[in-house]
Homo-oligomer: A and B are copies of this chain.
């Protein structure tokens, strides 16, 4: 891969990212001032195709980058993108308009990311599964109901209403609350099993119906697959020419509705804290995402980690997308909320 090929590949990819049209030799020399004739470009293009970096939708059309082409571009050609003043300005305005600190609202963060990148944004709060229970208690709400709240060591809070059996008064609820808090505090989630709960139940002196319900609830709260995925900007992709076909859109959205799958995708990269991970087309490993790319990064927002993803067409503006993410990470880690 000599310097000239890199140059040409770069030009082709940048053109294609903007135009979404296969780029031919003539248009390429017209747009970029390369001191070469179309015929020469054609030869180089043929070479790049043989090497697997380009592909031809059909015999007599221009070339488009292959996933491998994008990969090479991202790894070896792409240069850092400096956000324009207009872009910075817009972003700061959007941030100011939100009002609430972003750490309070993953939805707002998702909205911001989608607006700024014009792709789909995904936000997941990575689950440490070696958590322990930090606090658990019962807050009476009415004569017949209370709220059970569990605080986990990563700062997550789970809660749900429980109904109180007839004849159980506030003081008994309080006693139970104190009891389970004393006994479950500090316990690892992985140690909360039915054996432990049985032991506690035997030890407890009060209303058994109530403690039964609480334990059932605790298990549901803690082990229900409740990791949240927030998404925004789904419609952005509908503006991209690769999704002018409803069937493709349907497949894509169907996959997006299966949160577990998407969460797994983002999970895989949530480890490295300060870099970001780029998956291109087939690398994502999902049929309906073959024409997409996914950029995943981990952020720190006021003490808690957040994993975010940007899903766009493979023809995504990688440099700019990464630029935005880096800028936001910088902004948040230096005190922006």
A 230-284 contacts with B by CB, 8 A: 232-235, 238-239, 243-246, 249-250, 253-254, 257
A 259-314 contacts with B by CB, 8 A: 302-304
Q: Given contacts A147-B155, A246-B245, are A104 and B160 in contact (CB under 8 A)?
A: yes
Instruction: Name the contact of A157 in the complex, choosing from B147, B303, B304 (C-beta under 8 A).
Output: B147
A43 CB within 8 Å of chain B: no
Q: Given contacts A254-B235, A257-B232, A257-B234, are A151 and B139 in contact (CB under 8 A)?
A: yes
Interface residues of A (CB under 8 A from B): 99-101, 103-105, 134-135, 139, 141, 144-145, 147, 149, 151, 153, 155, 157, 159-161, 163, 220-221, 224, 226, 232-235, 238-239, 243-246, 249-250, 253-254, 257, 302-304
From residue A154, how far is it (CB to closest CB) to chain B in Å?
A: 8
Q: Given contacts A220-B100, A226-B105, are A257 and B235 in contact (CB under 8 A)?
A: yes
The secondary structure that dominates the A interface is mixed
From residue A58, how far is it (CB to closest CB) to chain B in Å?
A: 23
- Are A147 and B151 interface neighbours, CB within 8 A? yes
From residue A186, how far is it (CB to closest CB) to chain B in Å?
A: 13
From residue A108, how far is it (CB to closest CB) to chain B in Å?
A: 9
A-B contact pairs, 6 of them (CB 8 A): A105-B224, A149-B149, A235-B250, A235-B253, A238-B249, A238-B253
From residue A210, how far is it (CB to closest CB) to chain B in Å?
A: 15
